[in-house]
Structure 1
Amino acid sequence: MRTLHTGLEGHEALFVASQRQASHVLAFHRRHSRFLRFVDSHQKWMLMHMIADTCAGSAEGVAANWICERAQDIGIASRNTTLAFFGQLAAYGYLVRRECDSDKRMKLVALSRETEKILGEWVGVQLAGISPVGEITLDDDVTLRHIYLRSAGRLVGTPSYVRPPIDVGLMQDIRGGWLVMNDLLTHIDPTDCCKDSIAVSAFSIAQRARDFAMSRSTIYRLFRLAEEAAILGWEGEQGSDSLKMSGYHLRQYCRWNGRLLQIVCEAAQQANDNCRQTGTGYYFPQAAAGIRAPATRLL
């Protein structure tokens, strides 16, 4: 395990927000497990945000090639990876494909209404990590979409979020790694978050394989890579409940995740300000009063 002592100050607030967010992420997964089978890594989430951001303001959708080129330019994914992702989403109705009326050679893509609704719910999950009042749900789909699109554009345009630190990216870019990391956070005692080696209590690989509909071999591969990178380690026999996480990795993850929370928080506050100034849309003052951005000096 690494024993670096960098960045301890102020870390507790970021961990509390990330842990609170993690519990809501797991509930979100239970509600939308089929959708999350396809959005199963940080790379896939970034592609989803890019599709939403690129299609914003277009009723019919945008050219698939345009999204592929943009994803490649930013460094999110290759053209083939992006096209394969389109195919998976379209096969299950999460992405709509249509021909362009003005140019039959051009294929347009856009997110389906169901996907937009799920992504709006995703925004509430992120806000739940910041707000002590719990998960924020709005009945106004327009406001939810507004908050999400503001967030998606900022996330795609933030290089430090697009490309996480190497050890964080190792967990986030493996299939199901982002979900396992959120689950690990819920098994950590908040009083231990600034230690060099942090105990992860009562974590069962067999149970997680059932809960997340993942094979044990996939989870073991994830843990093996994490162990080689000194992120996770077993005390005793591999696969036992005695699991340890590097405190350095946890702090790196919370800082990186704090960027997401900060961006979503600012998007929600901007939506609040717009509603208050124009007198239109859905304004939620009680929730806004509870929103507290993570320590920005760590971001």
Structure 2
Amino acid sequence: MAYTAEQLAGNCSFLTSVRFLARQTRSMFDAGPRLARLLASHQRWLLTQTAYALHLEYDAREPTSGFTAVRLTGRITAHKVASRNTVLAFIEELYTYRFIVHTPGDERRRPRHFEPANVSHQAMFAWIHANLAALDLLDGGERAAVFQANPSLMRLVQPRIARHCLEDAAWREPPAQVALFLWTEAGGLVVDNFIARMDPEDAGAGKLLVGRVETRALAADFMMSRTHLQRLLAKAAQRGCVGWHDEPRKTHLWISRHFVEEYCAWQAVKFAYVDEAFEWATAQIDALTE
């Protein structure tokens, strides 16, 4: 049986899985910074996952299926994730940086279909593999190994994750404190950095030590403006999400346990859908081979 979000959030070891994924996300960023930024804000995460799912769901018998501007716009705007203009600008950016290409033969047709470039396929596979590996930490499972050995599972797993996450308001609309980071450019990278570095054993007064944070270096690292990062941290500090051990120098940061718990509960929603999709997909494959 796949985990439920409630079971994951209530598991005392789940923070270990969340921190593992945060570190893996950082590794993916180091390997391809511009592509990794597509998953670094929640809006872009939803756009990316939905676009990829549309591509995998393409049916040659239905010319209007697949990843087209109209299809992506329709699915995204239906859930009020982004405006039509934002979706079109997003597609243009993907195409400009060659993360997507025109489907061969579709260059002059309407509707024009797009498909992910090889680098995008590799990144999505790595993201799902990392999530499955994080789940394996909870129970010693072999999800990641099975997925690695059976890459065809991707076609079943990813669209199911993307659809469930887009349709579920619990994931689509993060809690206020989490949304403060996740709806901003590169905010997801900032949170992952703090989660990966914090000391889960040191929770004096509900504050978890992150360590030394230099905003200039961190902003440059994640290709964001220092002013933007400082404003983000100032807003988070006003809400009690983060703070500094050494005011007014502001070099050593802490993150509140309440924020971490809220973040983990939100991540549990997505992890549950990843686990459910993997279990469902492997059952489909097993049924075909019997």
TM-score of the aligned structures, taking structure 1 as reference length: 0.80
- The AA in structure 2 aligned to 1:42 is H
2: CA distance between counterparts of 1:59 and 1:194? Answer: 55
Is the Cα contact below 8 Å between 2:165 and 2:273 reproduced in 1? yes
Aligned residues: 271
- The AA in structure 1 aligned to 2:27 is A
Q: Are the structure 2 counterparts of residues 56 and 238 from structure 1 closer, same or farther at C-alpha, using a change threshold of 3 Å?
A: farther
Instruction: Give 2:194's match in structure 1, choosing from 184, 200, 219.
Output: 184
**Deviation, structure 1 residue 224:** 1.7
In the alignment, what sits opposite 1:205?
A: 215
**Deviation, structure 1 residue 192:** 4.0
Is the Cα contact below 8 Å between 1:22 and 1:129 reproduced in 2? no
TM-score of the aligned structures, taking structure 2 as reference length: 0.82
In the alignment, what sits opposite 1:23?
A: 23
Q: Are the structure 2 counterparts of residues 277 and 168 from structure 1 closer, same or farther at C-alpha, using a change threshold of 3 Å?
A: same
2: CA distance between counterparts of 1:155 and 1:195? Answer: 34
Instruction: Give 2:134's match in structure 1, choosing from 114, 125, 129.
Output: 129
**Deviation, structure 1 residue 247:** 2.0
- Is 1:147 paired with 2:152? no
**Deviation, structure 1 residue 269:** 2.2
In the alignment, what sits opposite 1:43?
A: 43
Kindly provide the CA deviation profile for residues 207-262 of structure 1, in whole angstroms up to 9, marking residues without a partner as x: 42343233322321221221223211122335633212222221111100111111
Is the Cα contact below 8 Å between 1:41 and 1:177 reproduced in 2? yes
Instruction: Give secondary structure in 1 for the equivalent of 2:57.
Output: coil
- Is 1:263 paired with 2:268? no
2: CA distance between counterparts of 1:182 and 1:135? Answer: 23
Kindly provide the CA deviation profile for residues 30-74 of structure 1, in whole angstroms up to 9, marking residues without a partner as x: 112121234431100101111122333316734312221221111
Is the Cα contact below 8 Å between 1:187 and 1:202 reproduced in 2? no
**Deviation, structure 1 residue 202:** 3.2
**Deviation, structure 1 residue 191:** 2.4
Q: Are the structure 2 counterparts of residues 263 and 195 from structure 1 closer, same or farther at C-alpha, using a change threshold of 3 Å?
A: farther
In the alignment, what sits opposite 1:52?
A: 52
Instruction: Give secondary structure in 2 for the equivalent of 1:107.
Output: coil
- Is 1:92 paired with 2:100? no
Q: CA RMSD in A?
A: 2.8
2: CA distance between counterparts of 1:106 and 1:209? Answer: 39
2: CA distance between counterparts of 1:70 and 1:56? Answer: 15
2: CA distance between counterparts of 1:212 and 1:32? Answer: 11
Question: Percent identical across equivalent pairs?
Answer: 23
Is the Cα contact below 8 Å between 1:21 and 1:130 reproduced in 2? no
Which ranges of structure 2 fall in alignment gaps of 5 or more residues?
A: 1-8, 61-65
Q: Are the structure 2 counterparts of residues 146 and 117 from structure 1 closer, same or farther at C-alpha, using a change threshold of 3 Å?
A: farther
Kindly provide the CA deviation profile for residues 164-209 of structure 1, in whole angstroms up to 9, marking residues without a partner as x: 1111111111111101101101222222469633222233334423
**Deviation, structure 1 residue 123:** 0.2
- Is 1:116 paired with 2:124? no
Kindly provide the CA deviation profile for residues 133-152 of structure 1, in whole angstroms up to 9, marking residues without a partner as x: 69936154322343222212
2: CA distance between counterparts of 1:238 and 1:220? Answer: 14
Which ranges of structure 1 fall in alignment gaps of 5 or more residues?
A: 1-8, 281-299
Is the Cα contact below 8 Å between 2:200 and 2:208 reproduced in 1? no
Is the Cα contact below 8 Å between 2:28 and 2:36 reproduced in 1? no
Greater percentage in helix: 2
Kindly provide the CA deviation profile for residues 65-97 of structure 1, in whole angstroms up to 9, marking residues without a partner as x: 222122111111110111110000001111224
In the alignment, what sits opposite 1:14?
A: 14
